[in-house]
Amino acid sequence: MEGVQKTRSAVASRPGMPSLTGALARSFPSSQSMASSVSPGASTPSSWTANHWARGTPDTSPPSSRSQSPELKSKRVDVSAEESRSSGSQNVEPLKNICFVGAGFVGGPTAAVIAFHNPQLIVNVVDLNEQRIAAWNSSHLPIHENGLLKVVRTARDGTRDTTVSVPGRHDSFELKARPSNLVFSTNVIAAIQEAEMVFICVNTPTKMHGIGAGSMADVSAIESATRTVAKHAKEGTIIVEKSTVPCGTARMIQDILRYHRPETTFEVLSNPEFLAEGTAVDNLMHPDRILIGSAQTLSGLKAAAALKQVYRAWVPDARLITVNTFSSELAKLVANTMLAQRISSMNAVSAMCEELGLGADVEDVSLAIGRDTRVGSKFLQAGVGFGGSCFEKDILNLAYLAREMHLDVVADYWLGILRINEYQRERYVRNVVRELNGSCRGKKVSVLGFAFKDETNDTRNSIAVHIIKDLADEMPREIAIFDPGCAANEILEEIEKIGLRADQMERIKICTSWRESVADAAAVCILTPWKQFRGCGVGHQAKASKRGTSLRDGKVESNGDNWAEMDILNIEDSVNQESQVVSEDPLGRLRPLAPCPEGCSHCKPAEDAAAAGETVDWVEVAGMMNEPRWVFDGRNVVDPLELQGLGFRVRGIGR
């Protein structure tokens, strides 16, 4: 026993591996005895040796919202660490092969953009879900993101030689073909064996059972993926945690690696994603910052420098931030929590504006506050609440961490954000029922929007599903749901999870057009701010934005024969502007897509989606609805005065 204690002390005191004590040590899998990582006979978590990742990969966690939190400043232990970091970055050999484990909302787009900007780098994306991999290798990607298909095609398929004439130049030049360097496959072990750097991008949902259920993150998928990496990665491979994880997960990964490969050295980095669904490609192309956490040792800083070298292909050095691993993990959770906090703050103000009844408008308040440069205007839009799987999960995770450290006041503070969010949903439903004379029986209610936000097809933890559940309790004649970005089966699957009775489910109808949804409805509930819902010439101008439409900066600069992809994107912009015709491939670089098999199950939905993108004609809607023709605008996307002029009764948020 004395020998084990000495081993534990020696390992725990290693530089760059701060020890976990007290409540934090009790909270996370990484707090298991360090002796188990060097002595197989010691108490080893059973999950490290069971539950193979090969049994199936869970859905990768979706991108969370881009953070606008203040710039992080890392603290250095001493001058030698600073010198080590500088020397490490100067002696880093460029990577030749990297691997992403998990082809979901994080792994797929991130790998595609990295491959897009690093044509000399082989990027393998592996997943055991064969259908998902097949989708990534087709023209029907499993994720709906603006600009993603072009990025994937460029890196996955390679490009052709082409002759380019740039506006403003009198000559033309040859743009050489680039080979393919992005591979999607189910060959997990082979890809890991070849990689010099492995990104772990698997799901970390909230635990549903046992200690911490409903609050703590479930890291079993990361444990399983790490175990697979530990068994097959070559010595010196750098492991990068990309998933949103609890503080201490990097240490947990390091412990598992040591247990399976005690004679091999691996460095573990934290590189959290800051992506907003619907604008993920734009976020990756023009990131606010790239955060990299590492051990503050020479080898840890050298590993961080290797990852910085990958991002440096298109991200300025000033936006590449290096901190320690714990700071990186905590910063991700706090960033999402503070964004959600801003939304809940404005939703609290919206309730006050509605009760004042003196003409107070939450959007006026938001405008005034947003002009303060100390505050800024982003995430100050009131609405029916925030949804998605990231904000709520990360707040619960952060509150659980605080509670385990006996910081109950801090935990209650964070949980207050969720209480306001739930209160806003409940308030919205109460207003709908009240304005319909206290009863929905015999009335049809139209729901416009189901995705948790516009420009995405992600329905997980959508605000709409909570609203629909409460409306179903009122037993209306029908709840007719339409969303231009979501497939009917995706909507139905999410609704089935909320536990409606059979007689309630009979009242749910998924519609393929807004006309079908609003016909004979007594009320319309707008729950997702799709631009189509603003109407023809009718809409809230303040909501219009360029979000998610730009991949480039618009300036063309020659670089001899070596054109970076950002340069080529700028050239494409110039060509499109000159021809006044917007083309996805104005230079003719892309290789043609392989034709889909006859009867492709994805082609018909794509045709339906094109029809679903039709803008709502509120003049037509006015003639299709039944009295009292209520519009409950949960996102403040329509102009209430114009709709009132058409005979609608309109109730927005915070007015």
**Residues 42, 28: Cα–Cα separation, whole Å:** 18
**Residues 18, 451: Cα–Cα separation, whole Å:** 41
Max CA separation in the chain (angstroms): 84
A 10 A CB-CB count for 583 gives 11
Contact, 123 vs 182, CB < 8 A? yes
Quickly tell me which residue has 């029907």 as its tokens: 140
**Residues 606, 655: Cα–Cα separation, whole Å:** 38
What is the Cα gyration radius of the chain? 26
Give, as one character, the DSSP assignment of residue 209: S
Find all residues with CB under 8 Å of 206, minimum gap 6, and list them: 214, 215, 216, 217, 218, 393, 396, 397
The pairing of beta strand 478-482 with beta strand 649-651:
unpaired
Neighbour order of strands in the sheet with 523-526: 508-510, 478-482, 444-448, 523-526, 630-633, 649-651
Task: Count CA atoms within 13 Å of residue 457 on its CB side.
Answer: 18
Helix-strand-coil split of the chain, %, nearest 5: 45, 10, 45
φ, ψ of residue 269 in degrees (nearest 5): -115, 155
CA of 262: how far to CAs of 488, 573, 624, in Å?
A: 50, 53, 70
> Tokens for 150?
């072009």
A 10 A CB-CB count for 364 gives 13
**In one letter, which amino acid is 307?**
L
Looking at 522-606, which runs of residues are DSSP E strands? 523-526
Which residues does residue 267 pair with via DSSP β-bridges, in sequence order? Answer: 238
Is 201 part of the annotated catalytic residue set?
Answer: no
The catalytic position among 353, 390, 486, 511 is 390
What amino acid positions are annotated as catalytic residues? 390
